[in-house]
Copies of this chain bind each other. A is one copy, B any other.
Amino acid sequence: MPPAPLPQQLVELSDLLGQMCVTAAGALRHATTALLEGRERLAQQVVAGDAKVDALRARVEELATDALLFHAPVAGDLRVVVAAIRAAGDIERMGDLALHVAQAAERGRPLPVEVRGEFAEMGRVAVELALKAAEVVRTRNVVLAMQLDADDDEMDVLHRHFFAVLMEQDWPHGVASAVDITLLARYYERYADHAVVVAHRTVYAVTGQQPDTITI
Contacts and interface: CB of A to CB of B under 8 A. Distances in A.
B86 A78 contact: no
B85 A215 contact: no
A69 interface: yes
Contact of A89 (B68, B69, B79, B89): B89
A1 interface: no
Contacts of A186: 183, 186
A150 interface: no
Contacts of A85: 82, 85-86
Contacts of A86: 85-86, 89
Q: Which of A54, A57, A182 has the most CB of B within 10 A?
A: A182
Q: Which of A65, A82, A163, A178 has the most CB of B within 10 A?
A: A178
B96 A68 contact: no
Contact of A179 (B78, B166, B215): B166
Contacts of A113: none
A48 interface: no
A175 interface: yes
A72 interface: yes
Interface of A: 54, 57, 61, 64-65, 68-69, 72, 74, 78-79, 82, 85-86, 89, 92, 96, 163, 166-167, 171, 175-176, 178-179, 182-183, 186, 215
